[in-house]
Amino acid sequence: QVQLVESGGGLVQAGDSLTLSCETSPRTFSTYAIGWFRQAPGKEREFVAAISQFGASTEFADSVRGRFGISRNYHRVLYLEMNSLKPEDTAVYFCAASGEFLSLVSGSAEYWGRGTQVTVSS
């Protein structure tokens, strides 16, 4: 079974930094690529960032590249480091897992967390 639990969301000011965490199951750490998606009210869910099974590859959406970082550790925790946050980053952020890294980048995931709210005030 694959379980994903996000945490770390909150209310911040534009320009601030915030780091989200996603706790994953043991199998998820080695077998699945994991990443982040986000969804704002009235909008479709969009890809944010992803990292391959053992961290060899990473990918970011154009809107966050250069501002966000993604990493995973040996304790099965995925991180999304967000810097220079903008009001446009406001959304519910979801942790997701897929057996294929490129599929995840393309928007397809087999498992999803329940999400954590990030609100950036101008």
DSSP secondary structure letter of residue 83:
-
Low-confidence ranges of the chain (pLDDT < 50): none
Residues ≥6 apart with Cβ < 8 Å to 117: 9, 10, 91, 92, 93
Determine the pLDDT at residue 29: 63
pLDDT at 25: 82
pLDDT at 119: 98
What pLDDT, on a 0 to 100 scale, did the predictor assign at position 75? Answer: 66
pLDDT of residue 96: 96
